[in-house]
Amino acid sequence: MPERIEWLDDGTAGGSPFSPRFGDRYRSELGGLDQAREVFLKGCGLPEAWAGQPQWTVLETGFGLGLNFLVTWAAWKADPQRPRMLHFVSTEAFPASAADVLRSAQTHPELIPFAEQLQAQLWGLLPGFHRLVFEGGRVLLTLCIGDAKAMLREQSFEADSVYLDGFSPQRNPDIWDVHTFKAVARCCRRGTRVATWTIARSVRDGLAQCGFAVKKVPGIPPKRDNLQGEFNPAWEPKKTQPPPARRAPSSCVVIGAGLAGAAVAASLARRGWQVLVLDAAEEPAAGASGLPAGLLAPHVSPDDSPLSRLSRHGIRATLQQAQSLLQAGDWGHTGVLEHAVEHPRKRPESWQADWADAADDWTCPAEAAQLAQCGLPPGTPSLWHARAGWARPAALVDAWLATPGVQSHGRSAVNRLSRDTQAPGQWQALDAQGRELARAELVVLAAGYASRALAAAAGTEAGELALQAIRGQVSWNRHAPGTAAALPPFPVNGHGSLAPAVPLAGEAGSLAWVMGSSFERDNTQAETRPADDRHNFDRLQTLLPETARALAAQFEAGQVQSWAGVRCATPSRLPALGPLAPGLWVCSGMGSRGLSFAALCGELLAARLHAEPLPLEQRLADALAPQYAPPVQA
């Protein structure tokens, strides 16, 4: 359940928020706006300190009702000298509802437009990280739900400013203890500014013990003093995993113009890189990303496995991109019903109590009415994924490749990569005749299964990438008279899948159904086969029997059309993302979940290059490290 808030009648619009859990107000008696601006923003020397910087990162303990974030965002937007990227990382153990966050802003009309955008993204806040995106990807809020100490252990970045906030040390001592300050110090560089409203002796002593030099400064009524300072320890901090140096934008070559490559190109271009995308085909999305329509739905498991958590991170990222970049005919936020054909899908038990509302934002048991719309009997084991839908992968690829700073060249087959001996630090992309197609300081392999051969040809010492080709075929056709009524109003998956109503490009009012897909390992041939259409239909008979009966005539008459492509997967079923050699990265292995993973992987790659806060927990990011095939025994 969202954190319960009482609204006290103090004569202001909406009232004053009060926490029954901690017996304390969320903001000072005179309102929170002055506190946010004077104590935190100005207390950290902002906005002057960030002027002309490529990026700025604020770390906050205690998101509360989001007022400090809203004020910082508004200041960034109003500043002509603002940094290109603003990161705001905030921890919160007891998240408020989206409605309460918006209500809190009613007292400050100038913040309402910002609060409305924030409210729209405050859903599904299960424990863990949630990356919220604003201003076309230039303002990024990483909301970390859970204990501040545990959440900060999952991050690896250096903050430029720190807002220490939360209920008073007497009411909530855990967030003001020395262990929290140690976790904050891990995320600071020497010179990081820190500010807070409390001058409690325990806070000052704890901060000093952790390397912060702080002092009292005049406060705003009714408080006489506030606390300001900076991280400047007398010792040299020892960090188990020092964050990498922030890399300046430069030139990049991405090999592969599918979902993975286009997503990487767009994420880097938003940070100022000049990106050239090379692909062997004449047009982008000519490989597996040319799928007529694909589904976007989270993976659910009783233990909330890494695949399940990663799928939620990825779907949130893709939905943000689709909402800002795609037209209605290219995607649909319809929800997806999962018919658990082989065995019931169970949600994690931890979701059932304190996190039930956030869990239901993602996935809940399907209702009888939804089953009836699919022609399935009551009680059929099924889940309803509310934050799910369908999309044309090629439309998303085209939108990402249109990002300023990205160029895409087709008919540019890269055969080999070579370090340039004349220009150290640069890679050359060469064709089959040894001619240079491009050169850059950074090369990203995003060519699906072909990334394996390119990595091997680059002469890296790590070994052969563990990537596997998986051929898949979908079947599709136009809606025929009399069959539309037998199709469900939303996509269904679980044993194969069906997207029931995909608009046909260039044909207003015309719809098609798309079903599939077959799954054939170690096959790199993309030809279509009638046998695979029959296989898809057989699975549809199990997934949606009534729909299969309605479409049977089209299969029997040979009216069904086919599309085949070759996907690329890893042994872990997770994407492969990471460096192979200095200046050479891979982003591949997304299997049948390219729509779920591509946007997230693009942002994760960019975050790691720029030493930004990660969009997901460190342990999940580590799980994506490229895997290598075992060496062949002599």
Same domain (yes/no): 463, 487:
no
DSSP for residue 41: I
Q: Phi/psi at 626 (nearest 5 deg)? A: -55, 140
Given a contact cutoff of 8 angstroms between Cβ atoms, the answer to whether 536 and 504 are in contact is no
Given a contact cutoff of 8 angstroms between Cβ atoms, the answer to whether 355 and 145 are in contact is no
In this structure, of 54-58, 503-507, 608-612, the range with the lowest mean pLDDT score is: 503-507
Same domain (yes/no): 154, 27:
yes
Given a contact cutoff of 8 angstroms between Cβ atoms, the answer to whether 160 and 49 are in contact is yes
CA dihedral 120, 123, 128, 129 (to 10 degrees): -20
Same domain (yes/no): 514, 438:
no
For residue 257, the domain's CATH number is: 3.50.50.60
Centre a 10 Å sphere on the Cβ of residue 335 and count the other Cβ atoms it contains: 17
pTM value?
Answer: 0.96
Mean pLDDT confidence for 573-582: 96
Same domain (yes/no): 310, 344:
yes
Whether 545 maps to a domain, the answer reads: yes
Write down the pLDDT at residue 196: 96
Same domain (yes/no): 87, 31:
yes
Same domain (yes/no): 554, 611:
no
Whether 420 maps to a domain, the answer reads: yes
pLDDT tens per residue across span 17-71: 999 999 998 887 666 888 899 999 999 999 999 999 999 999 999 999 999 999 9
Write down the pLDDT at residue 344: 84
**Number of domains, the chain:** 3
Domain boundary among 161, 196, 231: 231
Same domain (yes/no): 224, 88:
yes
pLDDT tens per residue across span 148-186: 999 999 998 999 999 999 999 999 999 999 999 999 999
Whether 560 maps to a domain, the answer reads: yes
Whether 246 maps to a domain, the answer reads: no
- On the 0-12 / 13-18 / 19+ scale of CB atoms within 10 A, 53 is middle
CA dihedral 509, 501, 332, 359 (to 10 degrees): 160
Given a contact cutoff of 8 angstroms between Cβ atoms, the answer to whether 26 and 14 are in contact is no
DSSP for residue 35: I
Q: Is 605 helix (H, G, I), strand (E, B) or coil?
A: helix
274-278 and 406-409: which strand pairing? parallel
- For 53-176, strand residue ranges (E) read 55-61, 85-92, 128-134, 139-145, 159-164
Whether 532 maps to a domain, the answer reads: yes
Write down the pLDDT at residue 368: 97
What is the C-alpha R_g of the chain?
Answer: 26
Given a contact cutoff of 8 angstroms between Cβ atoms, the answer to whether 489 and 500 are in contact is yes
Closest CA to 321 of 262, 244, 256: 262
| Amino acid at the residue 272 | G
- pLDDT above 90 (res 221): no
**For the chain, what's the residue count?**
634
For residue 313, the domain's CATH number is: 3.30.9.10
Same domain (yes/no): 256, 309:
no
Whether 373 maps to a domain, the answer reads: yes
For residue 107, the domain's CATH number is: 3.40.50.150
pLDDT tens per residue across span 287-300: 999 999 999 999 99
In this structure, of 221-230, 353-362, 368-377, 574-583, the range with the lowest mean pLDDT score is: 221-230
Given a contact cutoff of 8 angstroms between Cβ atoms, the answer to whether 317 and 387 are in contact is no
| CA quadruple 196, 197, 201, 203: dihedral sign | negative
Same domain (yes/no): 589, 552:
no
Same domain (yes/no): 460, 520:
no
| Amino acid at the residue 376 | L
Whether 333 maps to a domain, the answer reads: yes
For the chain, percent of residues with pLDDT exceeding 70: 97
Whether 633 maps to a domain, the answer reads: no
Q: Phi/psi at 615 (nearest 5 deg)? A: -80, -5
Domain that holds residue 384: 293-391+469-569
| Amino acid at the residue 631 | P
Same domain (yes/no): 153, 210:
yes
- pLDDT above 80 (res 630): no
Same domain (yes/no): 21, 91:
yes
Mean pLDDT confidence for 482-501: 93
Distance in angstroms (rounded) separating the CA atoms of residues 59 and 93: 15
Closest CA to 19 of 83, 96, 74: 96
Mean pLDDT confidence for 447-464: 88
